[in-house]
Amino acid sequence: MNTDKDAKWLDELISHSIDTTKPRFDAEEWKKKHPDALQNILSRRTKPTSSRQTNRWKLIFAHPIPSLAAAAAVTIVVTGLFLTRDGQILNGSVPELRLVAQSPTTMVSMMSLRTTYQQGGWDALDRQFRDTLNTLGPAFSNLTMDQLLESSNGF
């Protein structure tokens, strides 16, 4: 089997199937076709650029933060990464985020258990396991086999 010949045949087949000429972008044509998208891009220019953000963060990094030990305090410091010195948010408006309902099952998430251990050691983790059993079970039906069969009589 001639591999070169096959490859040439494949190239020809592809070039017939798709346009392989170098794409050319006509900005004026695009602006006429997509006025809404153009407006959207222009409005973004009013927001701070990435380099401006970085400069502000340099100011934050230089700002002394009191010594904090607990993980909760770490959260405050980390959140500070995204704030200016006077506590204002860098980019002005805060984006709206969906509210997340806290299910009791979150107490058994990897992060929840991990944070508990970080903050309170094994004793705190053990207490959380105990609370988990109190909150989440074991809880199963007290139905007897007769009751189960009775409920499925129609099948």
Partner 1 sequence: MISLSKSSFTETLFFILALTFIASPVLAIPPDPDNAALLYYQGFLTLAQLSDEARDRISHVATGETAPDDQVREDISKCVGAIEFAEAAVEVPGCHWGVRYSQGFEALMPQLARMRFLAFVLIADARIHAADGNYRAALERCLMAGTFARHVGDDTLISYLVSIAVRDLEYKCMRDIMGRAASDAELLRWLKNELAASGPVVVSPVRPMKIEIEIVNNLMQMENIEKLARVLADSDEKKVAQIVEGADEKSLERARRIYSERMNSALTVLSTPMPYEQAHSRLKRLADFDQDDPVAMAAKFFTPALDKVLSQRTGIETHANAIKTAIDVLLIHAGTGRLPDALPSGLPQDVFSGKDFEYEKTKEGFILRCRAKSLVADKIQEYEFKIKQ
Tokens of 65: 């933060």
Whether residue 71 contacts residue 118, with contact meaning beta carbons closer than 8 Å, is answered with: yes
In the complex, the smallest distance separating the C-beta of residue 65 from partner 1, rounded to whole angstroms, is 6
Which CB, 20 or 147, lies closer to partner 1?
147
Residues that bind partner 1 (CB under 8 A): 50, 53-54, 57, 60-65, 67-68, 71-72, 74-75, 77-83, 89-91, 93-97, 99-100, 102, 105-106, 108-111, 113-115, 117-118, 121-122, 125-126, 128-130, 132-134, 136-140, 142
Beta-bridge partner residues of 83: 89
Residue 95 CA to residue 81 CA, distance in Å, equals 17
Tokens of 104: 């009791």
For residue 116, count CB atoms less than 10 angstroms from its CB and return exposed for 0-12, middle for 13-18, buried for 19 or more: buried
In the complex, the smallest distance separating the C-beta of residue 123 from partner 1, rounded to whole angstroms, is 11
Which CB, 21 or 102, lies closer to partner 1?
102
In the complex, the smallest distance separating the C-beta of residue 86 from partner 1, rounded to whole angstroms, is 14
Residue carrying the six token digits 């006509």: 26
Tokens of 71: 């993980």
Which CB, 38 or 128, lies closer to partner 1?
128
Please state, as a whole number, how many other Cβ atoms lie within 10 Å of the Cβ of residue 97.
Answer: 6
In the complex, the smallest distance separating the C-beta of residue 149 from partner 1, rounded to whole angstroms, is 20
Which CB, 42 or 139, lies closer to partner 1?
139
